[in-house]
Amino acid sequence: MLILKKKTAALLAECVASKFGEGLLSEEEIFAGLEYPPDSSMGDIALPCFKLSKALRRSPVDIAEQLRDAVQCEEFASVEAVKGYLNFKIDPTAFAARVVADVDRLGDKYGSPMNGEGKTVVLDYSSPNVAKPFHIGHLGTTVIGHSLKLLHEFAGYNCVGINYLGDWGTQFGKLIVAYKLWGNKETIVDGGVDELVKLYVRINNAIKDEEDASPDKHSDLADASRAEFTKLEHGDEENLALWRWFVDVSLAEYQKTYQLLGIEFDSYKGESFYTDKMPEQVNKLRDMGLLEIDDGASIVNLEKWNMPVCLILKRDGSTLYPTRDIAAAVYRQRTYNFDKAIYVTSAAQSLHFAQWFKVVELMGYDWYPGLVHVPYGTVSINGAKLATRTGNVVLLKDLFAEAISRVYDITKEKHPDPEECRAIAEKVGVGAVVFYYLSNNRMRDINFMMEDALSFDGNTGPYAQYTYARTCSVLERAGGKGRMSDAPLGEVEFELAKCISRFPERVSAAIDEYEPSLVTRYILDLAAAFNRFYHECKIVNCEDEAVRESRIALTAATNQVLRTALHLICMQSPEKI
């Protein structure tokens, strides 16, 4: 519909110029005014002429009447002027033929706005804390972030995916103490990050026990942890070796999940990488007179912008998250010359990003408008919140493993070959988890329910993938992609063609709003339109050859768009389920 709306706007702009004079209304202004009527009996596209009356100095009724006979387009069956509205009814056959031709011509690029050519986007997402579990709480940043990367790549942007690992901080002092007290190298080699998590939970519980037993809430283990991290910061070789090992063990585990999701990053530079890059930015803040001393700490006062102060240095001179984020942003701009830098983190960090974005602006960096924070809501399992310190987590690898296992049990009777069944189960199981998450507006809090996610009925990933597999089956039986003919199309075929045509609009909106769920919901719309078409229309067995060819061509177009759309939300497209 986007293409037809643009064509309509261009035609109307010409008509306005010829009827009322040049320069009164631009094509862009007319395009912005076009809308879809709530009742399709009124038309498929409408132009309310009320907003035009002031610019054209005529009544809306007169404007609609004047334009009605001047707009000529082969895709319109009729153009009617009704009480100040210009209503366009589409010719189903001509419209569907053009839509299918566009899909066939553009293939994998159908739907792309192609407005990112020559531009670079840096995306900071996933970014788990090293030596901590990769749990369901990381699902949001990981799949939203990667979907946004795929969407921007689809639009032609050069994209740089950055996994900003949490590989520095006092937690490593705790882990070093725990390892020296209770750790065993062979156990960690065998158990990986899970064993590091056990040590982290154990040291935190031990510190809490000491604090609870002490009148002044003192803990010798907490003191020892701070001391070990200080040694790490000062380059102690033993602690550095342990730290590097913890990072390697963690990354090896995380890669298993990234492989399941088909995710690759261009950079794994974590917090530690920017340790020597922060002083430059602190000095710049100081030289510009932006730093103030408040109770011994160095801050930037943001009271004028209705925000709390932004802490840059603690009393002891150590840096904080804003300091690192500013240094990282400057490094990335110098390295990649980005047009946009997108940060995908929980909504709880919104103030943090607003603060340091403002500091970057105050520092005079002219690229600050390109900084974008994309927040998202919380996720729980059956209403239970997650907490790393207590070990109350649902690991992402376990969630995917359970989903894959359940799908395997469902499909093994239909696919007796274990390898084939396993491949299908992996695509559908992982896809079910991703789809369930991305079907919601990113700001909504999500209570994850495995039974709902894996259902083949309703608005789920398996339903969407099954629909794609159904289009593959139809095309296999048809032995080709078909071709659009002049045979008249019915309402069901027309609705499917209209749904296919809306894909470019949904993609553009998803990019503009940083909202992958718009694509997810589109997939459900297209699946519903195709399944209605599949059940109500004979396709391969249609007796009329011209109608059969058109229906096969519509199926091929659906197949192409579904495959593209599923890819854009990090899902695979199994040809058989």
**Per-residue pLDDT tens digits for 47-91:** 998 878 888 888 999 989 988 877 777 888 999 999 999 999 999
Predicted TM-score (pTM) of the model is: 0.91
Q: What pLDDT is stored for residue 384 in this prediction?
A: 55
Q: What pLDDT is stored for residue 449 in this prediction?
A: 81
Residue 431 CA to residue 556 CA, distance in Å, equals 22
Written as one string, the DSSP assignment of 456-476 is: SSSSSHHHHHHHHHHHHHHHH
Q: Which amino acid is at 194?
A: D
Question: Of 29, 48, 28, 27, which Cα lies nearest the Cα of 37?
Answer: 48
Domains 2-90 and 417-568 share a fold: no
Express each pLDDT in 295-309 by its tens digit: 899 999 999 999 999
Asked if the model's pLDDT at residue 219 lies above 90, the reply is yes
Tell the CATH superfamily of the 417-568 domain.
Answer: Isoleucyl-tRNA Synthetase; Domain 1 (1.10.730.10)
Q: What pLDDT is stored for residue 389 in this prediction?
A: 45
| 8 A C-beta contact, residue 8 and residue 73 | yes
Residue 121 CA to residue 341 CA, distance in Å, equals 6
Residue 518 CA to residue 508 CA, distance in Å, equals 10
- Residue 267 burial (10 A CB sphere; 0-12, 13-18, 19+): middle
Residue 132 CA to residue 191 CA, distance in Å, equals 13
| Integer Rg of the chain from CA | 29
Does residue 443 sit in helix, strand or coil? coil
Residue 554 CA to residue 530 CA, distance in Å, equals 9
Sign of CA dihedral 410, 411, 416, 419: negative
Query: Crossing angle for the helix pair 237-261 and 220-233, nearest 10 degrees?
Result: 90
Residue 330 CA to residue 345 CA, distance in Å, equals 19
Q: What pLDDT is stored for residue 195 in this prediction?
A: 93
Question: Of 239, 240, 228, which Cα lies nearest the Cα of 203?
Answer: 228
Express each pLDDT in 274-296 by its tens digit: 989 999 999 999 999 999 999 89
User: In the structure, what pLDDT confidence band is assigned to residue 468 with cuts at 50, 70 and 90?
Assistant: very high
Q: Which amino acid is at 110?
A: Y
- More confident call, 244 vs 379: 244
CB count, 10 Å around CB of 136?
21
CB count, 10 Å around CB of 309?
15
Name residue 122's beta-bridge partners. Answer: 160, 341
Question: Of 52, 62, 50, 64, which Cα lies nearest the Cα of 25?
Answer: 52
Residue 428 CA to residue 31 CA, distance in Å, equals 40
> Between 3.40.50.800, 3.40.50.150, 2.60.120.560, 3.30.1360.70, what CATH number should domain 2-90 receive?
3.30.1360.70
Torsion angle of the four alpha carbons 186, 190, 193, 197, in this order, in degrees rounded to the nearest 10: -60
With a CB cutoff of 8 Å and minimum separation 6, the contacts of 154 are 111, 112, 507, 564, 568
Q: What is the largest CA-CA distance in the chain?
A: 89
> What is the token pair recorded at 196?
């590091």
> What is the token pair recorded at 412?
């093994």
Percentage helix, strand, coil, to 5, in the chain?
60, 10, 30
Residue 201 CA to residue 295 CA, distance in Å, equals 34
Residue holding tokens 């404007």?
Answer: 63
Listed by start position, the domains of the chain span 2-90, 169-264, 417-568
At 251, phi and psi to the nearest 5? -60, -40
User: In the structure, what pLDDT confidence band is assigned to residue 485 with cuts at 50, 70 and 90?
Assistant: very high
Name residue 162's beta-bridge partners. Answer: 124, 267
Task: Please give the share of the chain, as a percent, with pLDDT higher than 70.
Answer: 98
Torsion angle of the four alpha carbons 326, 327, 331, 332, in this order, in degrees rounded to the nearest 10: -30
Asked if the model's pLDDT at residue 385 lies above 60, the reply is no
Express each pLDDT in 327-381 by its tens digit: 999 999 999 999 999 999 999 999 999 999 999 999 999 999 999 999 999 887 7
SS3 assignment for 264-326 = CCCECCCHHHHHHHHHHHHHHHHHCCCEEEECCEEEECCHHHCCCCEEEECCCCCECHHHHHH
Residue 285 CA to residue 282 CA, distance in Å, equals 5
Asked if the model's pLDDT at residue 392 lies above 60, the reply is no
Q: Average pLDDT in the 462-470 region? A: 96
Residue 400 CA to residue 15 CA, distance in Å, equals 57
SS3 assignment for 61-116 = HHHHHHHHCCCCCCCEEEEEEECCEEEEEECHHHHHHHHHHHHHHHHHHCCCCCCC
Residue holding tokens 């990488």?
Answer: 273
Order of all β-strands in the sheet with 340-346: 158-162, 120-124, 340-346, 371-376
> What is the token pair recorded at 356?
């340091």
Asked if the model's pLDDT at residue 383 lies above 60, the reply is no
Does residue 380 sit in helix, strand or coil? strand
Does residue 338 sit in helix, strand or coil? coil
Q: What is the mean pLDDT of the chain?
A: 92
User: In the structure, what pLDDT confidence band is assigned to residue 1 with cuts at 50, 70 and 90?
Assistant: confident
- More confident call, 40 vs 525: 525
Question: Of 464, 488, 496, which Cα lies nearest the Cα of 1?
Answer: 496
Residue 193 CA to residue 189 CA, distance in Å, equals 9
Does residue 170 sit in helix, strand or coil? coil
User: In the structure, what pLDDT confidence band is assigned to residue 499 with cuts at 50, 70 and 90?
Assistant: very high
Residue 440 CA to residue 457 CA, distance in Å, equals 17
At 531, phi and psi to the nearest 5? -65, -35
Residue 428 CA to residue 480 CA, distance in Å, equals 26
